[in-house]
Structure 1
């Protein structure tokens, strides 16, 4: 009995060491444009790695929006692929094409793959990450997702490192578990600064770093997306560029991408 307890404790220590182990080699970075965040990350978000984004309840739209924006930055001009399960599609609907265009993302560059279940989804994700022609991959998992254990996440990480493809693991309604992801974030929508005339401002997010492999964590930032320059900022430059206008005393307006529910009719979409 004592030997079993020691073996179990040793196994737990080994898993913990894998969870925090540094990557085999430093990865190239994609600068996001937010000076403080890029500096903390050593130049930007690591390419050829897996990054987890968590969104709870009403924040799933914010997590999805940030995920596709980060994937777009990482992909450059290469194709984007979004993999999800049939349950996820029925529950969350599909991203709204004009909403993607409003963020500066060409809907024609985004490919969707819908898998029967999470097991097939994770197998497809590994296969996709092994294709170096792909620019970036979004993997959407909902709920507890028990199949996404340390072994499964390690397979994803190894495939990403080998091909150079960046993966954004979108966790909707899930709780963090041991993972081989490079970074782990909690995402929520932030109020945007209204433009003159009280027009809707730029899309904004609250971003909280839950975990970073071999690095500090626990910090939080406000990110504002500039679709024209395709960079994130903290909103200061945007306020300076547009001036205070007549909207200075009005309440900020939200500005996060929200997926379209699957059961909405065409008439509802046009409304």
Structure 2
């Protein structure tokens, strides 16, 4: 009986390990070959924590990073928990990035510590598509707790780094347990053949990817389905370069 009990216990442990492994291999692809090729499994890991921040242009890049996070959340299934310390999110802007108001549950917290606690509870819940938390500081200990909580479910955790003071930005360079780390900066809009403003364009930097490679991408901002795109002029240039390579090989 003891032997059978030990075997059943071992099977249960192996089942837990295999279950976690299967969850960790599930991904949310960007559906852009150049981006997905840099990410293990071909997309953003589900059941994992990811970091997103704006570039050096203050509130403008900060807004772009929030829309980048919204686009990711929009492509998940289920409700999205968004934890904030400042009630300054522009809901119509998030909707333009595919995250409609009926899908978002806002939690207004007083400080980073409360935001992190709310994120952890949201990730442990397991019924949410994504959990986004706006924080200035993210320690290794706090990020590890979020990562472990996310691993128990298929929810994506996004630590959206926002700073009140420029001096706080140095914390973004400190190591965390996040699976990926991204930085988003605004670029001039895509040109139009007629007067007007084209689709917004971003410099999206993949600063860190666990078991992957860092890279920079010039992309068009999220559309109303949360999807990014390669600017047409860059895509045409890439196709032309490929054509020249094939011609030379021939």
Q: Indicate the TM-score class for this superposition, using the shorter chain for normalisation.
A: 0.7 to 0.9
* Structure 1 CA distance for aligned equivalents of residues 157 and 189 of structure 2: 27
Q: Is the 8 A contact 2:67 2:222 kept in 1?
A: no
1:227 and 2:217 equivalent?
Answer: no
Q: Is the 8 A contact 1:35 1:233 kept in 2?
A: no
Q: Is the 8 A contact 1:79 1:109 kept in 2?
A: yes
Q: TM (normalized to structure 2)?
A: 0.74
1:84-124 per-residue CA deviation (whole Å, 9 max, x = no partner) reads 22xxx1xxx52223323333331221111011222222111
C-alpha change, 1:229 and 1:61, in structure 2 (3 Å) is closer
* Structure 2 CA distance for aligned equivalents of residues 201 and 141 of structure 1: 31
Give aligned pairs, total: 204
* Structure 1 CA distance for aligned equivalents of residues 118 and 194 of structure 2: 47
1:116 and 2:116 equivalent?
Answer: no
RMSD: 2.2
1:152-199 per-residue CA deviation (whole Å, 9 max, x = no partner) reads 111000110101110111112332212110011111112221334323
Alignment correspondent of 1:163: 153
Alignment correspondent of 2:232: 236
Shift of 1:231: 2.4
Gaps of 5+ in 1: 1-23, 241-271
Q: Is the 8 A contact 2:71 2:222 kept in 1?
A: no
Gaps of 5+ in 2: 1-19, 164-168, 237-250
Q: TM (normalized to structure 1)?
A: 0.69
Q: Is the 8 A contact 1:34 1:231 kept in 2?
A: no
Alignment correspondent of 1:206: 203
Higher helix share: 2
Alignment correspondent of 1:68: 70
Alignment correspondent of 1:194: 191
C-alpha change, 1:172 and 1:226, in structure 2 (3 Å) is closer
